[in-house]
Each structure stands twice: as structure tokens, then as C-alpha cells.
Amino acid sequence: MGRIGFDTERKVKLKVMNQEEEDAIHWASLNILSNIGMKIYSKNAMQTLKDHGADVDFSTKMAKIPTHLVEEGLKRAPKAFRLCGRTKENDVLLDGRHVYFSTDATGLATYDLETGEKRGSTKEDVRKVAILTDYLPGVAVFNPSVTPLEVPPHVHTLHELEVGLNYTAKHTMVEAVFIADEAKLEVKMASLVTGGEKELRRRPIISSIMCCIFPLTLDGGAMDASMEFSKAGVPVHLMSMPQAGTTGPATLAGCVAINNAEILGANTVLQLAYPGAPVLYSTVGSPMDLRTGGYGGGGRPETALMNAAGVQLSKKYGIPSSPGSMGSMSKMIGPWIGHEHTLVPLTMAMVGGDVLNGIGMLEGSKVLSFEQMMIDHEIATAILRLISGFSVNDETLALSMIGRIGPRGSFLQEPHTYKHMKDFWDPTLTDLRPYDVWKASGAETTEQVARRKAKEILAKHKPISLDPSISRQISAMIAEAEKKPFPKGTSENW
């Protein structure tokens, strides 16, 4: 057995569609792309499609993408690649066999670790997420989790990336970028760390999220930014967030078909423009709350089914996936979020999602809780242990020892037990002590233990630091970018 966060091979497996259903959805998506088409607000993307013979209309921004181009796109998408860390031991190998967890989202508020109060999120919060991520073995990929509200909005992702590059040696997944120039700057920042753009292409230490607009729409700025990332060899998470009942049909099959069409459409553009561009298939769906029209949250059974279907399709195509995994509308730490943060990621892990996100967030990924982050890490490591299953061979059957010990004996003192004692899931918050012992030692709640441990880690852990001169250059680049005026969106103005 290897390290729990990086070396978990999936042995426990699940499918949510049979072969016929899978094919039917695939064909429905091809049908949608070639006959209904997508609205694409990026001139570059539209031109790329036109150059390859797609039926595009620049005035309506509609593109119908023929099946052979979609298939060409799938052929060109790399089947296995790495989300690299700043150090090699933090590399995340995406090969369809391993499962990892990441932090997630662009929240706007944080439960303060000292005061317990909910307040607007800050860059310091992002730094804490980075340090905890760097420390926690079960989290392999860093995502900023919250947006620093004290910095100008048009450079917030730059500040988040700065934190990632400085405070964790793990891979940084940058939040969605909607401006091509911002993407270019991020590539430059990461290149400073890797020692050049060529090195960044070889070892992409960052990846970016591209959020599609459901249904069947690609934002111009986001698409342009993604093309910049693909050009630089930076992996892009093609993320689609269907809301069954409003932005998608109320029936899951239709929702999944549109979701698949969007991801395939975006992939086709990137692969035609930059063959071999690394992409991840990222379904983050959920049902709308059709009683009220509110966001349905990410922890419902239908969330699991939709996102699992997405992962299953990604497996059919051989594209690595980063499905929506932990999500909940819960307003506080407690039993509700506990079951939701288990139900969906466990399903994703069993279907074979590669990078499972969502650690540490409450209220539909809007609010960060460091205590929840610790609890989610506990859940994540349990899931990773579960899906790695167990092996059956002479060593693990241990028949000769069983014969030697016999009835009424104990295996506790055996060297075999000693040898395998660390094969078990090793909890860090779960309290297995008897009531009296727990009571006598202060009767801490899980939340209190989580808070204490988070504080301990933050006080002690020192991530491998970045060369100070590179740090300074990155800060200077951000300061320069801040001076530029807030750019206009590119979506509608060409």
C-alpha cells in the first residue's frame, strides 16, 4: 500500500449506466452538437471551428459541430497526464486508475478560525487553505476555496495563484478565468516557478477551470482564456454545471446529454486549436430545488447520479475527470453535511473520478470552514481506503499462521500483524476511546477537535518555500496588473 492521498488505486467499482444507456447518451450529445449546436461567444473559438469545416454563424454566434470533428477532438485529447506539484512527490498521475481529492470552489465567506464568526473571505484564508492542503496527506490538489475580497476583482485569481505558488508544493488548480490576458499572466507566473514556459508545458504545476454556461453556451472570455492555457500546455478542467429543472431538463438523462455535449464541444475547440491539449472532464451538476427555484446543492442522490454519469462517459472517452464531489447546502457542520460529503464523493470514487473536489465548503460551496476541511479530509481518507479494496494472496490469506495460532488464540502478538498494522485506515479525528476516557480528557466535540488540529497544523507546518526573488517577481507582476483598468467582458462585443 502506498500513500493514501497519492497512491490510491481504485479496486471497488461501480457503474450507473449500462452500455446501451451510455451509448444512447453519447449519441444524443453528438446529435445535439451537430444538429442543434452551441452558442460560442469567442471569435477565436468560432474561427477555429470554421477553419475545420464546422457550420458556424458569426452573427448569431451559433456553431454546429459535426461528429467527425468531435471524434477528432476525443482522439487528440491525452489519455493520461500529470497535474504536477512544485515537487515531484506531489505529482498527481491521471491514468484512470488512481483517485485524488482537492479543495474547491470560489467561496465568498469564511468561518474565522479564532472567533468562529462568519465574515468576508480574505487572502489570509486562502493562505491557510494552502498550508493545510500542503500538510494534509489526503488532499493532493490545492484550489483557493475562497476569493480574497480585499483585492480588486479583476486580479483575484492572480492573488489566489500567488498564494498557491508560495504556500504549497502541491498542484494549484486556479479558479475560472474570464480574461485572456489574465490567463497569459498566470502562465507567466507559473513559468517563473518552473523555470520557463517549456518547463511548464513539461511539468504543468497549475491547471485552470473553464466553466461552461449551461445550457450549450461557451463564454467568450472563458473560452479565450482556456485557449491561452491550452496553448501553454496547462491542463483545463472543462466544467459544466447542469441544474436539472432549469438550465437543463428535469430528467437526468437529458441533463447528462447536454452536459456531455458542452464538454465535448469545448474539448473539440481546444483540440483543433492545440492538438493534445490536456483537459479534464468535469461534471458538477445538481438538481434545482423545484419547490423554490433555489440552488439544489451538491449533496443529493441525483447529484451523485449525474456526476457519476459524467465520470462514466469520461472513462468511455479516456479523458481524466474532476467531478463535483463534496457539496452541501448545509449551513453548519453536522450530520447533514457529513452524509452529503460522503454520499457523492464515495460514488465518484467508485465510478472512477480522478480528482474529487469540494473539501471544506458549506452552503453550496460559498462558505469556507477550516473545521469542515479537517472533517472532509477524514472522510476523504476513509473513501480512498475503501475503494482500494483488499488483495487476496498467500500473504494476506495467512493460512499457515492461522494454523499455528488455532482456536482460542490471538493474532495480536504476531509479526504478521505488526507487518500489516498500518494497512488500516488511520483516522485523525475519529475518537474511538470509551466514554469515560473521552469525558475525562475534556469531552471535545468533533468540531472542536477539528479546530484544534487545524490550528496545530497552521502553527507548525512550514511548506517548502519559493525562491524569494521569484516570489518578489510574482508580486510585482500582480501589482502591475492591478494598475490596469477593469477590462470589459469579451462575450458580446465582437
Partner 1 sequence: MDGPSVGLQLQRLKEAVIGCDLDNVEKIAREALDIGVKPVDAIQEGLAKGIKEVGERYGKGEAYLPELVMAANVMKKAVAVLEPHIPKGTDLGSLGKVVIGTVEGDIHDIGKSLVGTILGTSGFEILDLGVDVPAEKFVSGVAGQNVRIVGMSALMTTTMIRMPEVISALAGKGVRKKLVVMVGGAPTTKEWAREIGADAQAGDAVEASQLALSMVKGR
Question: Of 136 and 272, which has the nearer Cβ to partner 1?
Answer: 136
Radius of gyration of the chain (CA): 23
Question: Of 392 and 432, which has the nearer Cβ to partner 1?
Answer: 432
Integer Cα distance of 142 and 172 in angstroms: 5
Question: Starting at the edge strand that comes first in sequence, how are the strands of the sheet with 100-103 ordered?
Answer: 279-283, 236-240, 206-211, 171-174, 141-142, 100-103, 355-359
Q: Is the dihedral of CA 41, 46, 48, 52 positive or negative?
A: positive
Question: Of 441 and 445, which has the nearer Cβ to partner 1?
Answer: 441
Residues near partner 1 (CB under 8 A): 408, 410, 412-415, 417-418, 421-422, 433-437
Question: Of 434 and 485, which has the nearer Cβ to partner 1?
Answer: 434
Residue 468 CA, distance from chain mean position? 29
Query: Are 231 and 201 within 8 A, CB to CB?
Result: no
Report in angstroms how near the CB of residue 305 gets to partner 1 at its nearest.
39
Report in angstroms how near the CB of residue 362 gets to partner 1 at its nearest.
29
Report in angstroms how near the CB of residue 456 gets to partner 1 at its nearest.
14
Report in angstroms how near the CB of residue 413 gets to partner 1 at its nearest.
5
Query: Are 139 and 101 within 8 A, CB to CB?
Result: yes
Report in angstroms how near the CB of residue 408 gets to partner 1 at its nearest.
8
Question: Of 434 and 468, which has the nearer Cβ to partner 1?
Answer: 434
- The CA-based diameter of the chain, rounded to the nearest angstrom, is 82
End-to-end CA distance of the chain: 55
Report in angstroms how near the CB of residue 415 gets to partner 1 at its nearest.
6
Integer Cα distance of 328 and 62 in angstroms: 35
Question: Of 184 and 416, which has the nearer Cβ to partner 1?
Answer: 416
Distances (CA, A) of 297 to 6, 327, 332, 335, 395: 28, 6, 14, 16, 45
Integer Cα distance of 56 and 71 in angstroms: 18
Integer Cα distance of 43 and 61 in angstroms: 9
Apex 411 CA angle, 410 and 415, nearest 5 = 140
Report in angstroms how near the CB of residue 396 gets to partner 1 at its nearest.
16
Residue with cell 477539528: 450
Report in angstroms how near the CB of residue 369 gets to partner 1 at its nearest.
25
Question: Of 335 and 415, which has the nearer Cβ to partner 1?
Answer: 415
Question: Of 448 and 465, which has the nearer Cβ to partner 1?
Answer: 448
Residue with cell 462585443: 493
Report in angstroms how near the CB of residue 436 gets to partner 1 at its nearest.
4
Question: Of 3 and 97, which has the nearer Cβ to partner 1?
Answer: 3
Beta bridge partners of 109: 120, 367
